[in-house]
A and B are shown apart, each in its own frame.
Chain A
């Protein structure tokens, strides 16, 4: 029905006695270059895009509604399923929001905070590797994609050592880490730190001065800094347009103000600028990981807050009081004050913020997720108007969206 409507709305022009009209083309929902189930309705004049209208919602699972019926701690695995390319970042973002709501940030031990910073930056590298890799793959550069994915496996190995899961980590807990870091943690991270710069240099060599890559991305999908702010873009999509906004600097969390790193920006606002931002961000993340690893303190890994944190497993099995506490925390959950809170973190794709409304019970009254991909995708229409069909692919890739987060 919609299709008929769309065509009849177009103006028909008469040229040399022949009637012409814009062609409507559905790109997606099943299309390898839409990075999930995204449908873009393209209105084409020959090969030029007159209008590109993204349609989303194919992956909608109602995470916000689901979380109204479970305890705060049970919400954690749902956050994995949003931006599943950097689930550890979503997890940490959510945990930080709940900790802020409870007012226990000061009680979280340094060891947990430092480890979270380290894992957060690993998540950023992981996501950027996929972002750059798939963007290059969509534009025909197969080898860069393979190098990126090979390196991503190594990050998964680190995550597996830490929490047992590779993709859907559900890792930290409110108050710190569920278990102490494994004995070989330092070894696996050091291993990654040693190998990763080589891969980064290889990706750099493969793409940065690659003539085909430059021609396909330079001057493509341009958005000015002013428009980017107006549309609410964040992350590399905003910094690629020359706006130096990074939540880690603007509203530091987890002690990011104590780490020495730069926020890379590029000024052209095109797909190539966004690529450069991501590439340099991986370098900076590596610097942060090195600092975090060398500063990783010993000591407790979870806060000593019996009302919030589960008792140790051994005590649950041997002490009556601990068992009761365990039951209460699992069945009812901890009860934050009757307030509301918003907390933002700099996810690899942009600003991820959670808005929690508490009614004083063990379950959130309302959980709102502001995913960066959802807001960033709005810019697609503006970026691609007047460009070629092939550039739409480059634009989607360079925005680095993930549909699990858009549809939630």
Chain B
């Protein structure tokens, strides 16, 4: 871990005393586990105080039968710098349980999160409170299952057939 990354994690730990649950390091990348109620606060702090102006990626992972809570929403945030050392990237992970599939939207912090959060909603069914336009983005709007969930049945073509038939019927009006 380079020194810039370490100092960011240090300052996060100081500012949010009980929020940073765990820090993991692997091949120079740092992963911070944060509770989902603090997502907006921590992201806002990172952007405003630590100059993490660029949201590099936002996605989710389904850990069905691997661990609980079932889902993790993953943020990759980036700070621009003049050189190799100055560019810092941190991975934040917030756990989302199956009973409450909801997490705060970070669109107010980075507007680029808009489509990324829509994709997570589309693929996993995780809702983002405060999102301006939470609709499906890649799948048809009336499609029901969530394809990237681990219990999605890849052989089941029923849902797509139904939505195709609905689309045909709509066209008749």
Contacts and interface: CB of A to CB of B under 8 A. Distances in A.
A217 B24 CA distance: 47
Contact of A230 (B26, B91, B110, B147): B110
Contact of A232 (B80, B81, B91, B110): B110
Interface residues of A, number: 43
A245 to B, nearest CB: 6
Contact of B139 (A60, A252, A357): A60
Contacts of B136: 57
Nearest to A407: B138
B110 A370 contact: no
Contact of B138 (A56, A101, A232, A365): A56
A65 B154 contact: yes
A30 to B, nearest CB: 16
Identify whether the interface residues of A are mostly helix, strand, loop, or mixed.
Answer: mixed
B111 A231 contact: yes
A292 B64 CA distance: 46
Contacts of A368: 57, 59, 74
Contacts of B138: 56-57, 60, 407-408
Interface in A350-385: 351, 353, 355, 357, 359, 365-366, 368, 370, 374-375, 377-378
Contacts of B27: 100-101, 103, 339, 341
Contacts, number: 98
B147 A355 contact: no
B137 interface: yes
Contacts of A101: 27
B112 to A, nearest CB: 3
Contacts of A138: none
Contacts of A353: 56-57, 76
Nearest to A252: B84
B7 to A, nearest CB: 18
Given A251-B87, A340-B31, A57 B137 contact: yes
A56 B57 CA distance: 19
Contacts of A250: 80-81, 84, 87
A374 B54 CA distance: 15
Contacts of A230: 53, 110-112
**4 interchain residue pairs of minimum CB distance:** A232-B112, A57-B138, A250-B87, A370-B57
29 contacts: A1-B170, A65-B148, A65-B154, A69-B154, A101-B27, A229-B80, A230-B112, A232-B112, A233-B112, A243-B80, A245-B54, A249-B83, A249-B84, A251-B87, A251-B89, A339-B27, A341-B29, A342-B76, A355-B74, A359-B66, A366-B61, A368-B57, A368-B59, A370-B57, A374-B119, A375-B112, A375-B116, A377-B115, A378-B111
Given A64-B123, A250-B80, 18 more contacts: A1-B173, A57-B140, A69-B154, A100-B27, A229-B54, A232-B54, A232-B55, A232-B110, A232-B113, A243-B80, A245-B54, A249-B84, A340-B31, A351-B56, A357-B61, A368-B57, A368-B59, A370-B56
